[in-house]
Amino acid sequence: MNRSDFEILRGLDGKYIDDDIEFRASPETGPNLSFDKIVIYNRIGYKIFLNGTYSPRIKKITYNFVLKGLGPICRVDVNGTFHKDKGRTHKHEVINEGDPQRNLPEAIARPDLEGKTPREVWKIICKEAKIEHRGEFKEPT
């Protein structure tokens, strides 16, 4: 996937999610809450999955979009790992063709997402990416 393919996919109308999104505790994630393998349907036929984590202690939110067989194509981090001049709240997305294999190395600052709840961030992502979420979003506690 290159940048042009990513932009076409991001701008594509008609993407949707039927599943509920609920951050849950699991032994694998320790104190963090998570969900995974939420299918994002699209008319191009790409097999895209969403996973996410939430750390209640530091209010860290991550939404990660993965293209099956390729790797991550977009990730939004709120209060995440500090990235040089991009801060702790940022977005990663495909810029160069090899980026999914390198875990999306470049970051784009997103200070507009700071201080928002997981639901608020999710609504912004859905609007920007033209994703209709038909299921329920359960705010983590």
What are the structure tokens assigned to 87, written together?
A: 């801060």
Phi and psi at 35, nearest 5°, equal: -145, 160
The answer to whether residues 108 and 89 touch, using CB atoms and an 8 Å cutoff, is no
What are the structure tokens assigned to 90, written together?
A: 């940022």
**In whole angstroms, what is the distance from residue 141 CA to residue 123 CA?**
18
Quickly tell me which residue has 């996973």 as its tokens.
51
Q: What percent of the chain has pLDDT over 70?
A: 100
140 pLDDT tier (thresholds 50, 70, 90):
very high
**In whole angstroms, what is the distance from residue 136 CA to residue 127 CA?**
16
pLDDT tens per residue, range 1-56:
888 999 999 999 999 999 999 999 988 888 999 999 999 999 999 999 999 999 99
The amino acid occupying position 94 is V
40 in the Ramachandran plot: left (φ > 0), alpha (ψ -120 to 50) or beta?
beta
Q: Is 112 a residue whose pLDDT tops 90?
A: yes
pLDDT value of residue 83: 82
- Which helix (H) or strand (E) is 5 found in, with range? helix 3-11
Mean pLDDT over residues 65-93, rounded? 93
Q: Is 100 a residue whose pLDDT tops 90?
A: no
